[in-house]
Chains A and B, each alone.
Chain A
Amino acid sequence: MSERQIQLEVLRYNPETDSEPHFQTYSVPCLNEWVVLDALNYVKDNLDPTVAYRWSCHMAVCGSCGMMVNGEPKLACKAFIREYSDNIRVEPLVHFPIERDLVTVADDFMEKLTRIKPFIIPKEQRPVSAGEYKQSPAELLTYKQYTLCINCMLCYAACPEYGSQPEFIGPAAITLAHRYNQDSRDGGRDQRQEVIATHEGVWICSFVGACSEVCPKHVDPASALQQVKVASTVDWYKEHLMPWGKK
């Protein structure tokens, strides 16, 4: 296990004592196998207990530790020290207000997640006594990938449209709506379309694709958004050009 000294530059901001954010640098002895989160934990335990950041699972599934690492949105628990030079800069995810240090305010994301109705709206009520729905592996495959989002919000930090138009519902939330729309057990697409096929929804997306590039779980939100656009366009034509046709 080789060891190396890195300079970890951490954005610090405490709304009670600081008028604006500043950087503080810590010299951290790192093992080569470490991730940036390990370096932060070293700082917290040995150098400065006042640094604030969120973390829990250390295995890229809880979604807590999203932050900018050298300017890119990353999970700190999956950003390996070995892939960086000796100077690493960590900042809170951009496009979100800073609550303190590396901790952002997630209210906007949580509100959007709620707004898209991310739950099964059944075609018809089915009692538990009727057993499970049948769903073929192929049907599962149509939406499976879009269930893998861990809500880490990296895609919001990467999305230039969300940065300039904060009303944008955004990649993760629209992808989740699409996930339920595609589910053979669901009948709630019309209700979700009212939210996502709007000027705050998919039509803001200009298909930059940054969301898919930064996604640590390979969910590919950009593909979900394109599918929603296509489906919404089809809806529009059916409604306006073929009013006799069924939606």
Chain B
Amino acid sequence: MEIVKTDVAIIGAGGAGLRAAIALAETDPKLTIALISKVYPMRSHTCAAEGGAAGVIKPDDSMDLHFGDTVGGGDWLCDQDAVEYFINEAPKELIQLEHWGCPWSREPDGSVAVRPFGGMKIKRTWFAADKSGFHILHTLFQTSLQFPSIRRFDEYLATDLLVDEGRCHGLTAIEMRSGQMRRFQAKAVIIAAGGAGRIFPFTTNGAIKTGDGMALAYRAGVPLKDMEFVQYHPTGLPNTGILLTEGCRGEGGILVNKHGYRYLQDYGMGPETPVGKPVLKTMELGPRDRLSQAFWHEQQKGNTVSTTWGDCVLLDMRHLGEKKINERLPFVRDLSISYLGVDPVKDPVPIRPVVHYMMGGIHTDINAATPLPGLYAAGECACVSINGANRLGSNSLTELLVFGRRAAMSAIAYIQSGAPAAKEAALTVKADAAQGRIRALFQKSNGTESISGLRKEMTSTMEAGAGIYRTREGLADSCKKTGELRGRYAGIELHDKTNVYNTDLLAALELGSMLDCAEAVAVGALARTESRGAHQRLDFTARDDDKFLRHTLTYYHPKEPPRIEYLDVVITKSKPGVRDYSGGKK
């Protein structure tokens, strides 16, 4: 097996991975960097983010306000030291991106413009029309091209971390083009491989978001944290799950039920605000968890609109007018017309909540370090945790930058601290084992299970048991089912046994990752007998700070369900309180 020796290996080349790579290259040009991704960097799912990135820049805003919005939005499950670090770094990172050429939308005076977003008390979301993630990703990718020390390995699928004597020393990955496995021997590894929304059937997430990075760390003994917190975005197109940004509501779009009634006022987000004059942190600018939950209640009451694609509510943007929609929401208009046949200038758009984001992920501390020395993680695959039980829209793009860079700086400090070098022979044994696992998959015949069949069963059970509202019975079923599916996974067989760009193999490995993540979600959710943020239990409707002001840590077991431990939340200055989205009115 060919060996690539490098100082730092980064798995994933989306926003967080690219930011980490640039930070490494800028800080020490002598460092060798391997940027390994299963897709070309600009295909990474960061490109699909629309609304924008939060950071305090305007004079009417303050760090305290961003802190308060984030911690309250997260239903006090955020680690407050991490949030504080995050909000302080956020403006610097967004300005840095501006210097690198990000085409942020502008005010008439040439300063960067900000727009309102859900759950935020002040307008602080930097945006580039409604393609903010796309522009951030391309700006980072293009900026990265000036650093010769960043060596890219595009279309390499990571299969295993190489861990020896309690330290991470690299990974194995398959080059898609040749089917050959490579051993990346690294002094430090950063995982920035994105989320796992594909464990659900109806999601805004692209096909690539299969929890590979989470599963890599998990199987290497690193716990996954708070996996039960899955964010439903309230406004997805009903047939495809395509996201219509929160910016639609930030710009003044309203949500109505089949009676034309702005139902959010009935769910603690009222009273009603004037149409087209959005008021921050109330009604349509409430947080995502509350809006998605309100949809569920409207559906129970029979107030939703029946469509071919299931029950919907209506996102009405007509009053914004064509000019504003074209200027601020051109992508939204294009997507609605193309994929649903509805022009938001002329008609309300049917939408429904759709799985969007994993608050949980690889357990890291404030330095983006995992408990495994030498291993760091950042972005959606990580849980640091600034998002707590419910992420505020526009915090995740900033998180990629802040913690992508943080992971790089921590990796450098680790290398400089003189961490012991890898023992070649031990790593050879591990890499050979990884190779053996793939070979066995190729040699297997008489399979009893199909990859797409297992995937369908997995997504069905996740939707049935681990959706917007959950119960003990439903979650127990999902736990049992995901466990059973992990067992049955041993029965799959590859139909494609060739080497070049084998997407059957890719699908098989992705399914393995998804099953591990799905089980962690279900098990964490069953054990959390309270309702907090995006985790809502019909049988335990209240938040329980005595028992659950704690992070869930799930530890992998190859055959059994994961073991669960809990870790106290870091509270520095904000005691758990009531989440108030009444807009200050009573």
Is the CB–CB distance between B92 and A136 below 8 Å?
Answer: no
- Given contacts A120-B100, A147-B138, A183-B101, whether A58 and B177 have CB atoms under 8 Å apart is no
Q: Is the CB of B45 within 8 A of A14?
A: no
Pair B308/A62 contact, Cβ less than 8 Å: no
Q: Is B62 an interface residue (CB 8 A)?
A: no
Q: Are A49 and B507 in contact (CB under 8 A)?
A: yes
Please pick, from A56, A122, A183, the residue contacting B45 in the complex, using a CB distance under 8 A. Answer: A56
A171 within 8 A of B: no
Closest Cβ of chain A to B358, distance in Å, is 17
Partner of B108, one of A15, A136, A143: A136
B142 sits at the interface (CB 8 A): yes
Residues of A within 8 A of B501 (CB): 52, 99-101, 103
Contacts A49-B451, A150-B42 known; list 16 others, CB within 8 Å.
A16-B499, A33-B339, A45-B452, A48-B495, A49-B495, A54-B39, A56-B39, A57-B43, A57-B47, A59-B335, A100-B501, A117-B146, A119-B146, A143-B103, A144-B103, A176-B142
Q: Quick one: which of B260-294 are within 8 Å of A by CB?
A: none
Q: How far is the CB of A39 from chain B (nearest CB, A)?
A: 14
Query: Contacts A16-B498, A110-B154, A186-B101 given: A132-B95 contact, CB under 8 Å?
Result: yes
Say whether, besides A119-B145, A180-B101, A62 and B42 are in contact (CB < 8 Å). Answer: yes
Residues of chain A lying within 8 A (CB to CB) of residue B240? 58-59
- The verdict on A99 contacting B500 (CB below 8 Å), with A117-B146, A140-B106 known, is yes
Q: Which stretch, B109-117, B373-381, B416-424, touches the partner chain A? A: B109-117
B489 at the interface (CB under 8 A from A): no
Known contacts being A59-B242, A132-B98, A137-B106, is A15 close to B500, with CB within 8 Å? yes
Q: Check B452–A46 contact: CB distance below 8 A.
A: yes
Q: What distance in Å separates the Cβ of B98 from its nearest Cβ neighbour in chain A?
A: 4
A198 within 8 A of B: no
Q: Contact at A122–B154, with CB atoms within 8 Å?
A: no
Contact pattern, B 321-353, Cβ under 8 Å of A = 1, otherwise 0: 000000000010001001101000000000000
Q: Judging by beta carbons under 8 Å apart, are B145 and A128 in contact?
A: no
Name which residue of chain A comes closest to B50, CB basis.
A61
Residue from the set A48, A119, A144 with the largest chain B CB neighbour count within 10 Å? A119
**B233 CB to nearest chain A CB (Å):** 13
User: Residue on B with the closest CB to A115?
Assistant: B145
Write 23 A-B pairs (CB below 8 A) sorted by A numbering: A33-B239, A48-B495, A49-B451, A49-B503, A49-B504, A50-B504, A55-B207, A57-B43, A58-B207, A58-B242, A62-B45, A64-B43, A100-B501, A110-B154, A128-B95, A135-B110, A136-B109, A137-B107, A140-B105, A147-B138, A150-B42, A183-B101, A185-B101
Q: Which of B412-448 contact A (CB under 8 A)?
A: none
In the bound assembly, the distance between CA atoms of A100 and B86 in angstroms comes to 44
Tell me which of A16, A61, A133, A148 contacts B99 (CB under 8 A). Answer: A133
A164 sits at the interface (CB 8 A): no
Q: Does B208 contact A (CB under 8 A)?
A: yes
Question: Is A26 in contact with chain B by the CB < 8 A criterion?
Answer: no
B296 interface residue per 8 A CB criterion: no
Check B40–A110 contact: CB distance below 8 A: yes
| A246 on interface, CB distance cutoff 8 Å | no
**A135 & B106 in contact (Cβ 8 Å cutoff):** yes
A53 at the interface (CB under 8 A from B): yes
Q: Which residue of B lies closest to A53 (CB)?
A: B503
Q: A120 contacts which chain B residues (CB < 8 A)?
A: 99-101, 143
A7 interface residue per 8 A CB criterion:
no
Q: In the complex the two chains form, is B206's CB within 8 Å of A62's CB?
A: yes
B43 and A62 contacting across the interface, CB-CB below 8 Å: yes
Q: How far is the CA of A55 from the CA of B243 in the complex (A)?
A: 17
B129 to chain A, nearest CB (A): 8
Bound form: Cα–Cα A186–B139 in Å = 14
Does A85 touch B at the CB level, under 8 Å?
A: no
Q: Which residue of B107, B143, B242 contacts A119 across the interface (Cβ within 8 Å)?
A: B143
Please tell me which one of the listed residues A16, A133, A143, A150 contacts residue B500 in the complex, with CB atoms under 8 A apart: A16
Chain A window 123-134, contacts with chain B (Cβ cutoff 8 Å), 1 for yes, 0 for no: 000101001111
Selected from B99, B108, B239, B338, the residue in CB contact (under 8 A) with A137 is B108
